[in-house]
Amino acid sequence: MAQKDTVDRILDAAEALFAERGFAETSLRTITSTANVNLAAVNYHFGSKKSLIQAVFVRFLEPLADSLSDRLDAAQADGQELSLDDLLSLLASAILSAHGEDDVNRTASFMRLLGLAYTQSQGHLRDYLRDRYGSVSTRYVDLLRPACPQLEDTDLFWNTHFALGAAVFSLSNYGALDAMLKDDSGQESRIMNVIKRLLAFISAGVQVSVKV
């Protein structure tokens, strides 16, 4: 099982380092020496750095997409409609459970990666993720529509992206923000409470309809 070991050690190291410093700022040498594997192992097992980046995302998104699909199946089985808050907490718990609730830091660091995937150019990643996970996300958004009957499609489009921004930004900078809060007020936050706040914020914002 030497191979699986090596591959996973590389993925672990890459995931943590990418989340911490970004893609371009993380060299293969840093990754391989953190993972205690030979430099050439990355190109041997993954082919290139680009493919490594994609593999990191796939390893996280695959269970998430499955978990989200399962929960949607279960929730839709009753036949009754899902409310906005149902849908939001369903998504939140799918994300949290995708790799065990215990490892909340991993979730936070994945949110950071998600943010990076958007902000850092990495066009190849965006395209790759879209055509691999587009159907799940479309299914989710389609459920949002009847949950917010007062919204036009354009309202829904922008509101969901505002919400996505709030989530990605705040969770991906959770570490820095928590430190800032502690500086200012001496208090410390717990990530579950922040997620609760975030869901409330999003829920209120998403329902806003704007006539232009």
Partner DNA sequence: CCTCTTGGCAAACGTATGTTTCAAACATCC
Partner DNA sequence: GGATGTTTGAAACATACGTTTGCCAAGAGG
Where on the chain is the footprint of DNA (CB under 7 A)? 2-3, 5-6, 26-30, 37-45, 48-50
58 vs 194, beta carbon nearer a copy of itself: 194
- Quote the least distance from Cβ 20 to DNA, whole Å: 14
Cα(108)–Cα(77) distance, rounded to whole angstroms?
A: 31
100 vs 165, beta carbon nearer a copy of itself: 165
Cα(117)–Cα(31) distance, rounded to whole angstroms?
A: 19
With CB under 5 to 8 Å by kind, the binding choice for 109 among a copy of itself, DNA, none is: none
With CB under 5 to 8 Å by kind, the binding choice for 145 among DNA, a copy of itself, none is: none
Cα(33)–Cα(167) distance, rounded to whole angstroms?
A: 33
Cα(26)–Cα(17) distance, rounded to whole angstroms?
A: 7
- Quote the least distance from Cβ 58 to DNA, whole Å: 17
With CB under 5 to 8 Å by kind, the binding choice for 42 among a copy of itself, DNA, none is: DNA
Cα(162)–Cα(119) distance, rounded to whole angstroms?
A: 15
With CB under 5 to 8 Å by kind, the binding choice for 153 among a copy of itself, DNA, none is: a copy of itself
Q: In this structure, which amino acid lies at residue 137?
A: S
Cα(105)–Cα(111) distance, rounded to whole angstroms?
A: 10
What is the DSSP secondary structure assignment for residue 6, as one 8-state letter?
H
3 vs 154, beta carbon nearer DNA: 3
